[in-house]
Structure 1
């Protein structure tokens, strides 16, 4: 059983809390580049809250299929829970999932229900680790994002989550 999701991280700073002198006018540098990094992430009950992630330049059917193949190599046969994003339900993806139906059984979560996907809290945690920083370029964002993904671990009570 594997839950998966995707997230996009921009070069724009993620602003959180800050301390400033009373009466001062805080300012924040901004990199006006439209650079971004996309991440595919998955969790299974047996991986101890660790996110199995892979970075990509864009989220599309081709990269999604590549990520599912990566999950197959890492975890073997599985039931794959995902949302109804266009790249999960495209003609290309449907054909691929049909080809590997002996190894992967796709299960789609109800629309507009991110609370049902245990991967979602990981993105919040990763964004917190990247907060209040200005990245000069996408290479720096990729490096810091990779480190944040490696450090992120969410403790989930799977028994309670799955209703056992």
Structure 2
């Protein structure tokens, strides 16, 4: 979840004079689901009101629609919705096109999209006092991030 308030991180202030940080007083945010295709650099994102198995199932369907041909290997954490009974028939039906691979527990550093989410949180939300309609700004930043991340990517792995 990308929250619309600043999380206090490293901060400088004069000793004995604590800095005051303005807040909205609400814990609103944006729940994003996304995929990052390392080969092409394509980023696909969806915003949702909640995370549950139904939403994840629709996300999987939309992912297959984004990539109409070829095999997809999706790297995921071990969230309960990624293992839900509701999605099992869909996975069985699409096993020739879609493979889910699960990371070891507590290893977000192995998932490329987690780097994007972390960057959004630390460099956008924590450095800009966002207004209510900040989502378009996020998408703009994602495009810039995509450009710099993938403009010099390797063509092959040895």
Q: What SS does the corresponding residue of 2:99 show, helix, strand or coil?
A: strand
Q: TM-score, normalised by structure 2?
A: 0.77
Q: What do the CA deviations read for 1:119-150 (whole angstroms, capped 9, x no partner)?
A: 2211122121232333343xx13333333323
The 5-angstrom pairing of residues 4-153 of structure 1 reads 8-15=1-8, 25-48=18-41, 50-76=42-68, 77-127=71-121, 128-137=123-132, 140-153=133-146
Label 1:133 to 1:96 Cα distance change in 2 as closer, same or farther (>3 A): same
Q: 1:14 to 1:51 in 2, by over 3 A?
A: farther
Over 3 Å counting, the alpha-carbon distance change for 1:130 and 1:33 in structure 2 is same
Name the SS of the counterpart of 2:109 in structure 1.
helix
Shift in Å at residue 25 of structure 1? 4.5
Residue-by-residue CA offset, 1:13-59 (whole Å, 9 max, x unaligned):
144566767886421111112312111121223223x4322222222
Q: Extract unaligned runs of 5+ from structure 1.
A: 1-7
Deviation at 1:10, TM superposition (A): 1.2
Q: How many residues align?
A: 151
Say what the alpha-carbon RMSD is for the aligned residues.
Answer: 2.6
Higher RCO (CA 8 Å, separation ≥ 6 residues): 1
Q: What TM-score do you get using the length of structure 1 for normalisation? A: 0.75
CA deviation profile, 1:44-91 (whole Å, cap 9, x unmatched): 23223x432222222211121121122111123312221211110011
